A = this chain, B = another copy of it.
Amino acid sequence: MKLKVKDMDIATGGPLVVILNQKDAMKYDIHHMDRIKVIKNKKIETVVVDIAESDNAVPEGFIGMYEEVLNSLKLKNSDMVSISLARKPLSIEFIKKKLDGKRLAKKEIDQIVWDIVHNKLSESELTYFVAACYTNLMTLGETLLLTKAMASHGAILKLNKYPVIDKHCIGGIPGNRTTMVLVPIIAAAGFTMPKTSSRSITSPAGTADAMEVLAKVTFPIKQMKRILDKTNGCIVWGGSLNLAPADDKIINVEKALEIDAESQLLASIMAKKYSVSSTHILIDIPIGSHGSKVKSRSEALRLKRSFETIGKKLRKRVKVILTDGSQPIGNGIGPALEARDVLWILQQDKRRPLDLEKKCIDMAAEIFSMVGVREGKRKAKSILESGKSYSKMKEIIAAQHGSIFHSEQIKIGKFKHDELSPKSGIVAKIDNLSISRAARIAGAPADKASGIYLYAHVGSKVKKGDRLFTVYSESTRKISFARESLKSMPPFLVKYSGATK
């Protein structure tokens, strides 16, 4: 059957979908969600069928196409194409198998990941896969296969170096910008650290957002390699590199129900490390009850064991540390405020956040011990104090086409609101979620200069009327929205204490 292309001018964001007129569909016995082949010259693409309910959308004789299909077949409005019936993707059967509680073999997991990467599955089919892995837990063996499949169906950064250092933090804690301190320390010590980071989805800033205040973070993989050759380290946005692309599609579907199967979490992180050829990986699991991904020590310990086992099977050295995730780390929250904290540490400015500095030194020491460097803590400190890591950071910023090299160059939001302590006492609790939410409402991460700056942490003594934190924003309206949010969900709990009198 020949049909005329109608460009629907919409992207599905993934699945390859076309729309047929109801009459055409009936004529050829094609149903909603059936697969058909669309043929143009010698190019063939298999797509999912949706049936238009009105003739307005897709008239008889036409085939409506979303952007992904048009791109894949290089088609434009009014082109003629042929269609024919096609089978369902092979992976449907394997997804059903997993849903039935059975164990998947290598080639089955491989096929599923291939179909995900190539947009062959409908949203519903992909959801079944995620639900199946969530209810019928994958074995560590399956998770390992999933990790390898996700990495191999994507771009790979090949590095002829050893060791190649990497780190990952299981997120959810505001501030906590360790990557931007660690990379220059490790690279200054002569080790390679090809760090890819994410942008924020629901937090006030991802590492890529904060690094973008200083330099460019979007590079093709070849250029990333050139930066590494020059400086030993980089801090780039992983999203543009096409590393383990199945992962993002899976995460999108998980978001609907806010579930996160352990196998997905493990595979997601390890696949990306595998893709950049890391050999030594430090994983930070912050434990906290509110906002952090891991809520309890027992959950963290189970995850730690799983990471270590997968690491061993992938022939990577993996070390997992459990850290305190009960409150924000560092003082700045929001891209510019976090980048400033980082530069203050590297410049050894007296305004630097000591909690973040200490955490970075501890993590650097862990990495040094993994690669056999003795007295890692002292070494990390000396690299920091001697200014070597600051010099390295300036090299990296320059290599990443940046122009902000000093904390004084960073612009912070021009409007602000100071939140004062309602009483004298000790800070007993800081709610991560409430702080993050207010920082986002103030404009972070889209407005890089917006966010929150903390003057106190848990355990700090404060007097009535002392500043607890400042909200920065580019607009007074956002400041007042953020204040409303803070009123309904106060982030600081100050408790009276005899000692502070």
Contacts and interface: CB of A to CB of B under 8 A. Distances in A.
Interface of A: 8-11, 13, 19, 26-27, 29, 31-33, 50-54, 56-57, 64, 67, 92, 95-96, 99, 101, 122-128, 131-132, 134-136, 201-202, 252-253, 255-259, 440-441, 446
A257 B56 contact: no
B9 A56 contact: yes
B124 A253 contact: yes
Given A26-B446, A32-B252, A11 B127 contact: no
A99 B11 contact: no
A51 B99 CA distance: 30
Contact of A92 (B96, B126, B257, B441): B257
21 contacts: A9-B54, A10-B52, A11-B53, A11-B54, A13-B32, A13-B51, A27-B446, A29-B440, A31-B201, A33-B255, A33-B256, A53-B67, A99-B134, A99-B257, A122-B123, A124-B126, A124-B127, A127-B127, A128-B131, A128-B257, A131-B135
Contacts of A10: 8, 19, 52, 57, 64
Given A10-B19, A11-B54, A124-B124, 9 more contacts: A8-B57, A9-B54, A9-B56, A11-B57, A13-B51, A54-B67, A99-B135, A123-B123, A131-B132
A76 to B, nearest CB: 13
A441 to B, nearest CB: 8
B13 A53 contact: yes
Contacts of A127: 123-124, 127-128, 131
A96 B26 CA distance: 37
A289 B173 CA distance: 56
A11 B131 contact: no
Contacts of A31: 201-202
Given A99-B131, A134-B99, A446-B27, A125 B9 contact: no
A127 B135 CA distance: 14
Contacts of A54: 9, 11, 67
A264 to B, nearest CB: 14
A168 to B, nearest CB: 23
A128 B133 CA distance: 12
Contacts of A51: 13
Contacts of A99: 131, 134-135, 257, 259
Contacts of A32: 13, 252, 255
A258 B127 CA distance: 14
A135 B256 contact: no
A127 B101 CA distance: 17
A11 B52 contact: yes
A9 B126 CA distance: 26
B9 A257 contact: no
Nearest to A101: B135
Contacts of A92: 256-257
Contacts of A33: 252, 255-256
A31 B446 CA distance: 13
A411 B125 CA distance: 42
Nearest to A55: B9
Nearest to A23: B446
A81 B214 CA distance: 39
Contacts of A8: 10, 57
A26 B67 CA distance: 22
